[in-house]
Structure 1
Amino acid sequence: MKPIRLTKNLCLVGTAMICITFFVGCKNEPKVVKTTVNETILTAPEGFSVEEIGKDLGAVRHLTISKNGNIYANRSVLKEGKAILVLKDTNKDGAIDAQEAFAEVPGTGILVKDNYLYASSNSGVFRYALNEDHEVVDTENPEKIVDGLLDMGADNAKPFTIDAHNNLYVTIGSWNDACRDNEAGAGMIPCTLLDSAAGIWKFKADALNQTYADGTRYVTGIKNAVGITWNFKTNSLFATDHGRGGLHSFYPDLYTEEQDGDLPAETLYELKQGDNAGWPSSYYDPFKKKRILAPEYGGDGEKMGGEDAVTPIMDFPAHLGPNDLLFYTGDMFPEKYKNGAFIAFHNQSPTLKKGFFVAFVPFKDGKPSGDWEVFLDNFAGFDLVNTEGGTLQHRPCGLAQGPDGALYVCDDFGGSIFKITY
């Protein structure tokens, strides 16, 4: 009788992760087989593999994956005249073997939902029909869902999400950091930008040719929510926000340079219709754990403000730039990750000398259940504490979950897409 071969794997994780396979129960079998499963510069927790499945792809911003495993990425800058990129594994051997591109308008948001591929430009959202094989039917003629959204050239991405009832939620960021009157230096009262920006607007995902007039302002006072997603477990909207800057630059008598690097917090919110996240008249102080009145509106760094503003459910160091948010619902990763949130941080904290990483926030019963932690690190490719001679390699931007539970991260600086498995 042929002996049964049993295997046992031991994974050692570092900059390059080595998996060692022990074979037992069979004589004359090789004792050890070493397989390198992380040849990237990224570091991950023990047991996780990291693979760079695409490189030199351009400014890939957000990601989505169809049921057949096709990976779609939207680019904020055209590459060879095209914005949307699709990577395919046509023979289903686990490796990308085909690459296509279409669409001539750059953007950020992209999402496969039901029988459509939705994507955004800097002024609207459009969609492509998918056939029964989950392939785009016509790449040349997308349907226009909503257009004419404000685009002032700065913080103008239009990330979006869709709920179970075909409601479409679109971020419209503010190009003015603090709704400041550039001549007077004081805050605009009222901040007229809030009429068309610095919030999240709600439209219908199955209605064509909508404008502002067809939508409603779902949330206001959120400066630039690039990370936005609908959580189907809690049936609610979650978003991250980019905090304001310039506290020391504009108010050196009130804020030191160190405070400028520490304030305000980057924030994560669970949001409902009518919520106000407090911008521009207040900001969230991660040390005081309070909302503070902005100096443009009479604040001095101590006065509290924004009493009517919603409190963030989690705060992070200043200036990290949260650019995408994903709730993990797969079965591949260990149980601790189930229904928790991954966040891609696009920038660095100048005082912490930390940044360019993907963080994880554990959740239980729909709420954060512990401190956030760094999950995937070293996108920069060098030690941020000692920056002499360092050359930035990657900036994490978009997140997606594959049908098998793998996590995908894209990088809009180096143009790479990484696949993380367990």
Structure 2
Amino acid sequence: MKTRRLSALAVLSVATVALLSFKCLSNKPGDNKETAAAGLKLPAGFSAAIIADNLGTARHIAASPQGDIFVKINYNARRKPDGKGIVVLHDNGDGTTTQKAGITAFPGTGIYLKNGYLYASSDENVYRYKLNAENEVEPGTQPETVVSGLLSRHEHEAKAILLDDAGNLYVNIGAYSNACQVKDRQKDSPGQKGCPVLDSAGGIWQFKADKLNQHYGDGVRYATGLRNVVGMDWNKQNNQLFVMQHGRDQLHDLYPDMYTVQQSAILPAECLYAINKGDNAGWPYIYYDQLVNKKILAPEYGGDGKKTGGENAIDPAAAYPGHLAPDGLLFYTGNQFPERYKNGAFIAFHGSWNRAPEPQAGYFVVFQPFKNGKPDGKWEVFADGFSGSAEQTASGRAEHRPCGLAQAADGSIYVTDDSKGAIYKISYKK
């Protein structure tokens, strides 16, 4: 599939345009001049190419050392791409890809390559495909069921997956609720005492990666109090799971006497959490306010926008403006990018839908510097312009929406777009 290079767009950073009223939240990419390629605005020295296009709803992505790319397609009955739930491409290394035989699979988000298997999730199950010596799924290979019966109640149903080096599989089970109200998303409805959602959702579950035919009930609830996680990755510097939570919605809609539309547009924070077994991030009882750097008691549970809470809940490792929808997380371990990027985190923000009447925001990839396994310094917009223009960002009519991230064999990074089905490759050259 030939590359498509788009003309450079004079796109201002969304972090500046959509958040003009909240300058304290804006983070600039530094003093280096930026370049534009494939419609993206990037730091100096970086370039981008669209190496595949029109793949369907491209969600998460995995890459092999041999240059193959496995793209999970979350199709529906109207957009089913010839029954191929996993599109397989080969990166030719020259800005083009060759499309290989796809894998007839199931719609979903999660995909991960580890220890000779390709793992992939639907909204209810996790499967794996045996790979050959070249990390290929040979024609006719049937999937094995690793886990079945995962909870899916048509809200936050996507199952992000991740494997560690100790033989464990981690699966996000998103909460089927916004804030665990008695009547979900209804004005002034109180929060349910003891939030029954947390018994079976709103956290990360752990399973054995090499054991087949496990059921949902066989898993261990590794962490709780997480409304919904789509982006997750393993930080090898401190051997720890990191996740990006989607924060709750509609503070002003549900509690107009407590929150202005401006506050509701940027609160609560989208949070990066460093997770240990047994951790509780506090949903639905609290949310994190990045303006005051405090855990705030949720209004459904007696909060007024100022009362703090969650004394037993963990603090986020880093926090970002609300409603940006972080769908991809990648710790960079390659050698192609400048040294400052090594072991830092890239985060793909899919973009908001619920900031109106304020401008929508997101639709970019940010970089979070790390040092010794912990965030170190302010985040910065790394790749911007996916939406097409500042106007398209503000209105929420983005042309492309970044979702999945993966590191290429040559140290570049891939970014998926689940709107037009594009795959971007971002590279660096001195």
TM (norm. structure 2) is 0.86
CA–CA distance in structure 2, aligned partners of residues 139 and 197 of structure 1:
35
Larger Rg: 1
| Contact 1:354/1:384 (<8 A) preserved | no
1:298 corresponds to 2:305: no
1:5 paired residue number = none
| Contact 2:158/2:174 (<8 A) preserved | yes
Shift of 1:128: 0.3
CA–CA distance in structure 2, aligned partners of residues 248 and 109 of structure 1:
33
1:168 paired residue number = 169
Amino acid at match of 1:98: Q
CA displacement 1:353-398 (0-9 Å, x = unmatched):
531000000111111111000000011001148857x852100000
Alignment map for 1:82-121 (pairs within 5 Å): 82-89=84-91, 95-121=96-122
Match of 1:188 among 184, 188, 192: 192
The 1:206–1:240 alpha-carbon spacing in structure 2 relative to 1, beyond 3 Å, is: same
| Contact 1:129/1:138 (<8 A) preserved | no
CA–CA distance in structure 2, aligned partners of residues 383 and 214 of structure 1:
47
| Contact 1:164/1:232 (<8 A) preserved | no
1:10 paired residue number = none
1:414 corresponds to 2:412: no
Amino acid at match of 1:108: T
1:337 corresponds to 2:341: yes
Residue 74 of structure 2 aligns to a residue whose secondary structure is strand
The 1:70–1:38 alpha-carbon spacing in structure 2 relative to 1, beyond 3 Å, is: farther
CA–CA distance in structure 2, aligned partners of residues 244 and 395 of structure 1:
20
Shift of 1:103: 2.6
Shift of 1:98: 2.6
Where does structure 1 lack aligned partners over 5 or more consecutive residues?
1-12, 17-36
Where does structure 2 lack aligned partners over 5 or more consecutive residues?
1-6, 11-34
1:145 paired residue number = 146
Identical amino acids, percent of aligned pairs: 50
The 1:297–1:315 alpha-carbon spacing in structure 2 relative to 1, beyond 3 Å, is: same
Moved over 6 A (4+): none
Amino acid at match of 2:398: L
2:46 paired residue number = 48
1:396 corresponds to 2:397: no
Match of 2:81 among 75, 79, 82: 79
User: Over the residues paired in the alignment, what is the CA RMSD in angstroms?
Assistant: 2.0
1:61 paired residue number = 59
CA–CA distance in structure 2, aligned partners of residues 218 and 374 of structure 1:
31
CA–CA distance in structure 2, aligned partners of residues 221 and 83 of structure 1:
31
| Contact 1:14/1:44 (<8 A) preserved | no
| Contact 1:353/1:384 (<8 A) preserved | no
Amino acid at match of 1:81: G
Amino acid at match of 1:291: K
Residue 227 of structure 1 aligns to a residue whose secondary structure is strand
Residue 347 of structure 1 aligns to a residue whose secondary structure is coil
Residue 406 of structure 2 aligns to a residue whose secondary structure is strand
Shift of 1:140: 4.7
The answer to which structure, 1 or 2, has the higher relative contact order (CA under 8 A, 6+ apart) is: 2
| Contact 1:160/1:229 (<8 A) preserved | no
Alignment map for 1:210-359 (pairs within 5 Å): 210-348=214-352, 350=355, 351=358, 353-359=360-366
1:371 paired residue number = 378
Residue 302 of structure 1 aligns to a residue whose secondary structure is coil
